[in-house]
Structure 1
Amino acid sequence: MDYTMDFQGDDEIIVSADDIMRAIKQLMEEDKEIRKKVKEMSRISEKTLMPGGSSHSSLATKSSPVCKLIETSCKMKKAQLVFIPAPIIGHFVSAVELAKLLVDRDERLSITVLVMETSLSPNIARSYIDSVISAWSRIRFVHMPDVELDPSLPGRFFISLIEAQKSHVKEEVSKLVLESESCSDSPRLAGFVLDMFFASIIDAANEFGVPSYIFFTSAASFLGLAFHIQALHDEQKVDPTEFTNSDVELVVPCLASPFPVKLSPSSLLGKEWLPFFFRMIRRLREAKGIMVNTFYELESHALNSFSDGNFPPVYPVGPILSLNSHENHTRHKDIMQWLDHQPSSSVVYLCFGSMGSFSVEQVKEIASGLERSGHRFLWSLRQPPPDGKMEAPSDYVNPEEVLPEGFLDRTSEIGKIIGWAPQVDILDHPSIGGFVSHCGWNSTLESIWFDVPMATWPMFAEQQFNAFLMVVEFGLAMEIKINYRKAYNMDGCEIVRAEEIEKGIRGLMEIDREKLKEISEKSRKALMRDGSSYTCSARLIQDIIDNMA
């Protein structure tokens, strides 16, 4: 479309209001091709001024100071990223820790985190956010409005949350864009960084003309499995819900070992979650890049499987962990003092994550198994939420009500029952010798980082898959259960008996730690200068800058 107006001769020509209105409308709304060409030319113009560019070369032959000024200007191009983490405490903290890592690595980056508080633990989230605000000036938090959701429909939680918040997300990002345009020194919007559950917000990023990046808070191997099963479903019409209780094993490119399909995540085995899961995985393929909370030395096989060009770039940037405790130290002082009085590597720590809780019958079996094992223990015991409610468990007012009669008296010299646990501080304590875990990915990485052997007892989500990784694929953990699966309402849950628990705990406390120690050291080196994740995050940052429109 030609928007020029031709003036010839000396006579004044009056352009009608209708012509002006039509041209403006076409310019602003209709001709996306011209806007695309202008953006492309803008990128080309920037490259001409960078080292090796045509204008840079011409100027360099005439004036070295000018060349240096141009290089400095290009290097200091400021970028603003919008992080949208899921309102699950493990996802939220990991995303903010990633934000901290990125701004520490490059002074050009600023990050705005949109906080949806629907199911965050308010006190923990507030304390954590305050600690970040006080130490990182280029990270800010915007609290999104509360929205009404139906808590009785966990399978539709993220769908309804995204739809309710999408307009608010656009409103907040529009404010950032206006702020950037009003001040030449403000960072330009460079992209969205979305939790994997929020992949559909790619549409909003597209409206702003910026790329989307995904922060995948699970293992790279799980990302590969998700892509593989989605392709099987779409291309070969495989129905994953038929995997339930199946003895079939899949050969998956991202895994070195055959995978028992019955250990697939709950979202693949139930018809309620399945449509959302596949929509999410398809959208991940549209991302400009996928950051994964892992490191190459742990998942080299899986990460190499993404190199065939059929996937977006995958950046292993982990382990991303929150290693500075933000707990109430006064509240947990007695826990740490108790651990201080225990022998080195003598205590087994039991914790089942922010959503982990058990029926009274299962609690009694765990207590009996612990007592029979004879090992010292620290047990984070939490009360289930009311029936039908998708809420986090709470601390018991009186845990003695659900424990076997006399248990606390009989184990008072070797054991301690607690509520919410300051897990990082606990795993870092020298008295801890083993960790009975639900196999959440954050807890799994913490187990590796602190060189604490893990016994698997998965419950939700992809935790059965993580247990398979640790026991079979990596050979870094032992099994109490690998295929345990807990329903939200507790109905029909398998009861793991005391004998099995006792056997698992005894095996855990006798495990050979040499292999775990080696990979623990590699997890730390990955984040050091020239380490695998350090190098990968540098490449990610440069790609973000290069992808700016």
Structure 2
Amino acid sequence: MEKTSVHEKPTVVVIMVPFPAQGHLNQLLHLSRLISDHAVPVHYVGSATHNRQAKIRVQGWNPETISTIHFHDLPLPPFSTPPPNPNSPIKFPDHLQPTFDATAHLRKPLADLFKTLCTASQRVAIIHDSLMSFAAQESDNYTNAEAFAFHSVSAYAYLSFEWEALGGHSDKHLKVSDLPPLSSEGCFSNRFMEFMARQLPMMASCTGHIYNTCRTLEGDYLNILAHENVWAIGPMNPIVLGYGDSDSHARHTCLEWLDKQPEKSALYISFGTNTAISDEQITELATGLERSGQRFIWVVREADRGDIFSQVESEMKGSEVDEEYEKKIRGRGVIVRDWAPQLEILAHPSTGGFLSHCGWNSCIESMSMGVPIAAWPMHSDQPRNAMLVTDVLRIGVTVREWIRREEIVSAADVEGSVRKLMVSEEGKNVGRRAEELGVGIREAWLDGGCSHAELHSFIAHISRAV
């Protein structure tokens, strides 16, 4: 564990407690940068494996250049890291549950660090993922500490889940109920539902809530949450790339390919880090992309295991994404089998669309860059994010309705969705709205913008006199 040397008590220090899944690790590491920019020391805690994962995959800036971010590798007993099951009817990554369950072992070393920092600091703010709510209870033991829950989902998704849990009878969710009802059936495994249920009572210790969104994007839904002491500090990802010394890193070859393509002509395809897709579906997707006639970059890789350093990337043998397929699409399509620089791809002027699973991290990155989305949700909050994208914001098109989630999406449907987004009149209107929204989201971080103001408000809150 990294030692902290303190000669005089800092006014405030922050402890970040992320959940060990890529979209969660990433968002809280981005928030660490934003808070560190205000000269507030941040202590990012987790297992050595997941801290390493967070650092090597960060995009747009280099965490090694931020001296006020301190990484603490907390001990974690060995845990099982089974492979994903691409043929499961429920796409939730149940193979990661042993990793999620193992996080309970972080509580004791976290408590020890918390005690040290509370003694050495005037105030300690603990920002924990809502799925790591045991961390909030530690704040009850100290008068100079308080806890804040970080929600890695959209405000709309949060309210939608709550509205469903209340049986659709809450008046404060009228803006949610205006949309078609959406059930949580098929979104989670039973084991994960039980895991989430255990978090709720522990969140009672929280004094506030943080979302990776902004009022430009979800102002109506954030206003509904206003009584809960909410800060909307998003997008947390960099909106101007090349931050720190990231320019020193070698540029990915797919970006060199994008440099040669016409503006807004290429579709980016990625289903995130923990979605496993069957060979049959990959074949249909590959065929549909080829038939669409559109340029594309497609990330084809195995879903993450609990320890990404113990796995071998899948080459998808037996599917249509083989060397023969790559020959057929050469010049018009690029297959990426390793870690893709998603932020840089979305920010590139030649990228005109994103075929996405609609994880919130991917959604807000795409929105912040003004890129429209072809929505193909797989699990968790993704169906609700897809509805926000297509029905509320109208910056995307639907690839598959959630009610048809157990069906294989045919090559014809893939082709139709891709062409609708990229070359139809409807797609052009969707693209214009996405571009306009992107401008508004980026303006939220200008001096006086809503996200800029909310970050300053949060810093002032945690820095107030003890």
TM-score, normalised relative to structure 1:
0.72
1:471 to 390, 395, 404: 390
Are the counterparts in 1 of residues 347 and 369 from structure 2 also a CA contact under 8 Å? yes
1:504 to 413, 417, 440: 417
Report the equivalent of 2:223.
304
* Correspondence 1:174 to 2:115: yes
CA shift at 1:467, angstroms? 0.6
* Correspondence 1:164 to 2:99: no
Query: Judging changes above 3 Å, is the alpha-carbon distance between structure 1 residues 344 and 443 closer, same or farther for their aligned structure 2 residues?
Result: same
* Correspondence 1:102 to 2:23: no
Report the equivalent of 1:495.
408
Cα RMSD, aligned residues only: 3.2
Aligned to 1:125, what secondary structure does the other structure show?
helix
C-alpha distance after superposition, 1:377-425 (max 9, x if no partner) = 111111357xxx6566853447686437842222213111111211111
The AA in structure 1 aligned to 2:412 is E
Report the equivalent of 1:89.
22
Report the equivalent of 2:137.
203
Distance 1:263 1:441 in 2: 16
Report the equivalent of 1:227.
162
Which one has a bigger Cα radius of gyration?
A: 1
Aligned to 2:183, what secondary structure does the other structure show?
helix
Which protein has greater RCO, CA pairs closer than 8 Å, 6+ apart? 2
Are the counterparts in 1 of residues 160 and 384 from structure 2 also a CA contact under 8 Å? no
Deviates more, 1:220-229 or 1:345-354: 220-229
1:344 to 250, 263, 268: 263
Distance 1:135 1:437 in 2: 31
* Correspondence 1:415 to 2:415: no
Query: Judging changes above 3 Å, is the alpha-carbon distance between structure 1 residues 349 and 341 closer, same or farther for their aligned structure 2 residues?
Result: same
Distance 1:533 1:367 in 2: 39
* Correspondence 1:449 to 2:380: no
C-alpha distance after superposition, 1:166-185 (max 9, x if no partner) = 1010122223244x1xxxxx
* Correspondence 1:483 to 2:402: yes
C-alpha distance after superposition, 1:247-300 (max 9, x if no partner) = xxx993452632422356723xx5333333233244445411101000001111
Distance 1:328 1:127 in 2: 15
Distance 1:509 1:156 in 2: 37
Instruction: After TM superposition, list the pairs within 5 Å mapping 1:91-490 onto structure 2.
Output: 91-104=24-37, 106-107=38-39, 109-118=40-49, 122=52, 125-126=55-56, 128=58, 132-151=62-81, 154=95, 156-157=97-98, 160-178=101-119, 180=120, 187-209=121-143, 210-232=145-167, 252-253=173-174, 255=176, 257-262=178-183, 266-267=187-188, 270-307=189-226, 309=227, 312-322=228-238, 324=241, 329-330=249-250, 333-383=252-302, 395-397=313-315, 402-403=320-321, 406-419=324-337, 420-483=339-402
Query: Judging changes above 3 Å, is the alpha-carbon distance between structure 1 residues 119 and 327 closer, same or farther for their aligned structure 2 residues?
Result: farther
For structure 1, list consecutive stretches of 5 or more residues without a partner in the other structure.
Answer: 1-75, 181-186, 237-249, 487-492
Are the counterparts in 1 of residues 96 and 306 from structure 2 also a CA contact under 8 Å? no
Percent identity of the aligned residues? 24
Aligned to 2:297, what secondary structure does the other structure show?
strand
Are the counterparts in 1 of residues 267 and 294 from structure 2 also a CA contact under 8 Å? yes
CA shift at 1:77, angstroms? 6.7
C-alpha distance after superposition, 1:105-145 (max 9, x if no partner) = x33x221111224556x46634749x655422222111111
Query: Judging changes above 3 Å, is the alpha-carbon distance between structure 1 residues 251 and 175 closer, same or farther for their aligned structure 2 residues?
Result: closer
Are the counterparts in 1 of residues 173 and 224 from structure 2 also a CA contact under 8 Å? no
CA shift at 1:353, angstroms? 0.9
Aligned to 2:352, what secondary structure does the other structure show?
strand
* Correspondence 1:516 to 2:457: no
The AA in structure 2 aligned to 1:430 is P
CA shift at 1:82, angstroms? 1.0
CA shift at 1:448, angstroms? 1.1
Are the counterparts in 2 of residues 468 and 482 from structure 1 also a CA contact under 8 Å? no
Distance 2:393 2:460 in 1: 32
Distance 1:509 1:381 in 2: 21
C-alpha distance after superposition, 1:362-385 (max 9, x if no partner) = 111111101111111111111357
Report the equivalent of 1:243.
none
Report the equivalent of 1:17.
none
CA shift at 1:313, angstroms? 0.5
For structure 2, list consecutive stretches of 5 or more residues without a partner in the other structure.
Answer: 1-8, 83-93
Distance 2:388 2:268 in 1: 21
Aligned to 2:361, what secondary structure does the other structure show?
helix
The AA in structure 2 aligned to 1:114 is V
Aligned to 1:298, what secondary structure does the other structure show?
helix
Query: Judging changes above 3 Å, is the alpha-carbon distance between structure 1 residues 112 and 221 closer, same or farther for their aligned structure 2 residues?
Result: same
